[in-house]
Amino acid sequence: MLPIALLPERGSTYALNVDTAFWIIFYLSLVFFVIINVALIVFIIKYRRKPEDEEPGAPISHNTKLEIIWTIIPTILLFVIFWFGYRAYAKVKWPDKKPRLEIKITARQWGWTAEYPDGKKIITGTIKDNRAITEKDFPPIIFVPAGEPVQLLLTSTDVIHSFYVPAFRSKYDAIPGRYTKIWFQAKKPGEYPVFCTEYCGKWHSRMPAKVIALPPKKFDRFINIPVDKFNSTLANMPLDSIYAVLNLSDKEFEEWSGAQEKLLASLTPAERGKLLAQKLCVSCHSLDGSPGIGPTWKGLFGHEVELADGRKVVADENYLRESILDPQAKVVKGFQPVMPSFQGQLTEEQIMDIIEFIKTLK
């Protein structure tokens, strides 16, 4: 290993296998780089043509001993590379034991949606301003149990993305119209950054997320939260608050969820829509009339919009709903057809909430 931190900590059970293959290839390359370049320089100096040397040397046909050596040694080295490489590949590809659960990850321009088997859903958005991304900008995308294998089923709604957890050495493409699989087992509880590593457009570098590995007990609490309760509360909370909630005693937790339900019940649909929009929509649609990737929402509702094909439509509920589910159906003049569909990502109720919010932006 190098004395500098070239790779992040090894957070998954197979990280060491991947690193071993990496370092073996790295050091083999380094050794041969030195041998070849030193020989190159020595030979250039030693065997350079001297001014008085006009005769070509004696012809050399071959050297059997040398040729056997330089065939056998590299062959052995290639088998070594293959062995460690294949072992790492096999470990990453096939879980040691049956994964505890499978989480569906859907990538979009530009963010991730995670869905648990019971329907729990977490969505991350785009960091759109131009400041440098800090540690705080990594929102949780999945919660997993430390010490247990977890399977991810990846896909994409628009272009190819790639789900990469450097600490786990887990990386796999999320491809539209296809499912790909990756699994991992976190060694210990912690927070592990996720990056998109397939160039996917303007904000490719700004769809950060985080895998949260929880101690088994806390994960049980997380997984046992009823889906409707989770999606309406925890899914929208900052990480600190989620941790705080997962640390509550059973009784405190009951009280908390009761209070949350009351609080949510007190929100108007427009207020609920605003919470959602801030997460999902405002990276492209401004709320104040300023230009963006998509049309501003200010003064949108009830007004006539001109489409790219010259038609004119009124932005009513049906138009907005259609534009959320099938954005390419009626593209507004002057804008690119780049919006991803939110079909299957949002419930009818959530779509209504967002529309109610748009109505308030006069």
Q: Footprint of ligand CUA on this chain (CB under 6 A)?
A: 107, 110, 161, 196, 198-200, 204, 207
Closer to ligand CUA by Cβ: residue 107 or 246: 107
Q: Which of 282, 283, 280, 285 shows the shortest CA–CA distance to 296?
A: 285
How near is the Cβ of 161 to ligand CUA at its closest, in Å? 3
| Calpha distance 46→52 (Å, rounded) | 15
How near is the Cβ of 294 to ligand CUA at its closest, in Å? 18
How near is the Cβ of 154 to ligand CUA at its closest, in Å? 11
How near is the Cβ of 110 to ligand CUA at its closest, in Å? 6
| Calpha distance 251→234 (Å, rounded) | 17
In sequence order, the 6+-apart residues with CB closer than 8 A to the CB of 335 are 293, 294, 295, 308
Residue pair 329/243 in contact (Cβ under 8 Å)? The answer is: no
| Calpha distance 18→13 (Å, rounded) | 10
How near is the Cβ of 174 to ligand CUA at its closest, in Å? 8
Closer to ligand CUA by Cβ: residue 194 or 223: 194
Q: Which of 233, 232, 240 shows the shortest CA–CA distance to 212?
A: 240
Closer to ligand CUA by Cβ: residue 108 or 274: 108
* Residue 201 Ramachandran class (φ > 0 left, ψ -120 to 50 alpha, else beta): left
How near is the Cβ of 105 to ligand CUA at its closest, in Å? 12
Residue pair 126/161 in contact (Cβ under 8 Å)? The answer is: no
Instruction: Find where tokens 């996720």 sit.
Output: 194
Closer to ligand CUA by Cβ: residue 209 or 320: 209
Q: What is the CA radius of gyration of the chain?
A: 28
Closer to ligand CUA by Cβ: residue 103 or 209: 209
How near is the Cβ of 183 to ligand CUA at its closest, in Å? 21
| Calpha distance 246→16 (Å, rounded) | 31
Closer to ligand CUA by Cβ: residue 162 or 236: 162
Closer to ligand CUA by Cβ: residue 108 or 187: 108
How near is the Cβ of 88 to ligand CUA at its closest, in Å? 24
| Calpha distance 110→67 (Å, rounded) | 54
| Calpha distance 287→358 (Å, rounded) | 9
H or E stretch including 141?
strand 140-145
In sequence order, the 6+-apart residues with CB closer than 8 A to the CB of 343 are 325, 326
| Calpha distance 21→58 (Å, rounded) | 44
Closer to ligand CUA by Cβ: residue 115 or 353: 115
How near is the Cβ of 84 to ligand CUA at its closest, in Å? 29
Q: Which of 180, 196, 189 shows the shortest CA–CA distance to 211?
A: 189
Closer to ligand CUA by Cβ: residue 100 or 128: 128
User: Rounded to the nearest 5°, which phi and psi values hold at 346?
Assistant: -120, 145
